[in-house]
Amino acid sequence: MAWSATVAASNFAEGRAEVVVDYTDGTLRQREVYRTDAPDADWIPTLVRDRLARLDASAKFVLPPGPITPAPPISEPPIDPTFLLLLQRLHLAEQVNTLVVMGALLRTDARVIALRDWLAANVPTYWRELGG
């Protein structure tokens, strides 16, 4: 059955508006109170029309009888730990490069050299393993 709306009460006093709207489909009832401090309440009919459209749409949605079973969990393939290590080192290299550009870390620092050497040795190898 289609939903309908009825204004149950309205009060327009001192620049304020309060409109109480009852929605019903003959069986279910809902009440909504719209309040505004604005001098006009022209937007309330638009909200009522939108609410009626949503209620009518939800009334058309029918659940099949019986229990609702949850969807099976999505099984994701395991992530290669070598790939994760590579991503972590690349992220670290990006941060180290920012520190070098800012002058907070020297290119000749042993940690910078060790990271650069690790990336130079491992990135091409891993890239070949991926087929790149």
* H helix intervals, the chain: 44-60, 81-102, 110-130
Give the DSSP letter of residue 78: P
| Residue linked to tokens 């309040």 | 35
Instruction: Determine the residue type at 11.
Output: N
- Whole-number Å distance between alpha carbons of 53 and 29: 15
- Percent of the chain at pLDDT > 90 equals 37
Residue with the bigger pLDDT between 38 and 29: it is 29
Q: What tens digit of pLDDT does each residue of 86-106 get? A: 889 999 999 999 999 999 989
Q: What is the pLDDT of residue 81?
A: 85
Q: Hey, where are the domains in the chain? A: 4-60, 81-130
Confidence of residue 59 (pLDDT cuts 50, 70, 90): confident
Strands (E), the chain: 4-13, 16-24, 29-36
Structure confidence at residue 60 (pLDDT): 85
The answer to whether residue 129 scores a pLDDT higher than 80 is no
Is 132's pLDDT higher than 60?
no
**Count of residues for the chain?**
132
Burial class from Cβ neighbours inside 10 Å (0-12, 13-18, 19+) for residue 20 reads: middle
Compute the distance between CA of residue 41 and CA of residue 34 in angstroms, rounded to an integer. 9
